[in-house]
Each structure stands twice: as structure tokens, then as C-alpha cells.
Structure 1
Amino acid sequence: MTAETDLIKLYSGQILALATDMPLTGHLEAPQHSAKKRAPLCGSTVSVDLNMTDGLISDYRQDVKACALGQASASVFASHVIGKSLDDIQTLRDQLFAMLTADGPVPDAPFDGYQVLIPAREYKNRHASILLAIDATLSALKTT
């Protein structure tokens, strides 16, 4: 199989569907927390705005400028981020990083939708983009 064929397989129909149907896009009018992160290798960026209530994310919006893998990841993330704590997001980040870099298992439910990105393990240059929405959210929660 050629590298081009492998890359075409990587961008599966499921990944492309997630990328085109991303929830919680845009910006909040008056967010409590905001951050923007950039993946230096590919130039992808994600900006997030969020509000917290009783230690849980109560509102969330994202502006994603990334490859289909980064968009798909942001889609899975946004589908389940409401109601999560800082610790929940950190656990997800650790699990997804292990899945991508150490053949770890798929993150725990409700974030098990990340299984569609298992083929991206072989593409280390895409890992930062896949982690970008999570990293921006962690940055927003830890700096404000």
C-alpha cells in the first residue's frame, strides 16, 4: 500500500462526517474562560470560550481551523464537553495521548467516539491537531 492510499484510508467517511457536523461552534458573548491554541507543525488553531457552573463546564463554543482529523476530534470533544470538570478533561487528554502515542485504549465513555481516530496513530505530525481542542480547553481552565 502506498502512503497516499494510507492517507486516503485515514480520512474515512466517519472522520469526514464528524468534521462537517461539528457542534458548539462559534464564540460565547461573555465567556468566563477563553484560550487559543496553535499546532506549530501544521498551523491548525482552535479558540475556545466556556463558562463554568459549580466546577462543571456549563457552556462551550469553539472556532476550529484545522485538518479533518483536528475537526473530527473537536467534534467528538464538543459533543460531550458540557457537564465535565477540569479533571475530566485532563483525564481525557491523558487517555487520548496514550491512545495516539502508546497504543493505549480508546478514552473512556462518553469520549469513546475517539476510536475513529485510531488510524491516526501512525501520523505523529497530526497528533497535535487532534489534541488541540482539548489543549485549548485545558489552557482556558488553568489560566483564568
Structure 2
Amino acid sequence: MSELYHNRILELAAGIPNVDQLAGAEGEALKVSRVCGSTVHVALTLDAAGEVVTAIAVDPRACALGQASTSILSANAVGATVSEIRAALEALRAMLKEGGPPPEARFWELRHLEPVADYPPRHASTLLAFEAAVAAIDQALAARAAV
């Protein structure tokens, strides 16, 4: 278990940026882990084209692993494209569940969560932030399409 909760994971978990609410959020999502009860709420806005995240707020109520993942998302989401965030979720999921390589580029620090792959009960909380971000993006885009 000590390999899961190494210093960088604890630093990330303790220093989550953008913990707040976001006035005027276009998309919001709350994801819950049924395994452990962890939750992560993500609110965000997109640019005029709906392609780039312009603001994000997070509210993680999760274990250190879920908080570390939320920290990485929140620190790097503003300026990220929708496709980058979707790709990061898929790469994180593949890393945890299929032995895939860690995400790269903007979300490269997710590599610190690679040992979680050996602990399937921890996968859900580790994925929450990125799942919530993608759900919030989908909600924002759906709202724009409905107008």
C-alpha cells in the first residue's frame, strides 16, 4: 500500500487547485464511487467554439488517490481541449484496467497513479475526476446544441 500513497500522491492530494464553485458553469457533473463512497463534482465552462476548457471548479470528497487525480485534472484543465480531456480519461482507464501506458502531455502526472492498477477496488475513485469532467463537457455541449 505504501507504493500507492507515496509523497507525490500526498502532495497532489493536499494541493488541489480550483476547489470552489463556478458561477456561470456551462456543465456540471457529480460522480460517485459505489465501492468506497468517494465523490467528485466538476463544473466548467468552454470557449465559444466548445473546444477548449476556459474555467474549472472542483469539489472532491475522495480518498487521497481520488484527490490526487482531481488535483492533476484541475491544475491542467484550463486551456486543455475537450479531446485532450477525453483522451486522458481513456488513457487513465487503460493504464488502470489494461496495463496501458500512462497518459502523456498535459496530464503526464497521472503516471504517479500507475501503481493503482494493482488495486482494482481503487480504480473507481481514481477515475472519478476525469469521468466527471467528461460528463460536464458533454452536458455543456448538449446544452449548446439544444439552443
TM-score (norm 1): 0.91
Q: Report the equivalent of 1:3.
A: none
Q: Report the equivalent of 2:89.
A: 93
C-alpha RMSD of the superposition: 1.1
Q: Report the equivalent of 1:82.
A: 78
Q: Report the equivalent of 1:119.
A: 115
Measure how far apart 1:35 and its partner are. Answer: 1.0
Residue by residue, what CA displacement relative to the aligned partner does 1:66-108 show, whole Å, maximum 9, x if unpaired? 0000000111111111112222111111111111111111102
**Number of equivalences:** 138
* Unaligned runs of at least 5 residues, structure 1: 1-6
1:108 aligns with 2:109: no
**Paired AA for residue 105 in structure 2:** A
Distance in structure 1 (CA, Å) of the matches to 2:109 and 2:3: 18
Distance in structure 1 (CA, Å) of the matches to 2:6 and 2:128: 20
**Paired AA for residue 35 in structure 1:** A
Correspondences of 1:30-41 after superposition (within 5 Å): 30-41=24-35
Distance in structure 2 (CA, Å) of the matches to 1:32 and 1:142: 10
Distance in structure 1 (CA, Å) of the matches to 2:72 and 2:88: 12
SS of equivalent to 2:53: strand
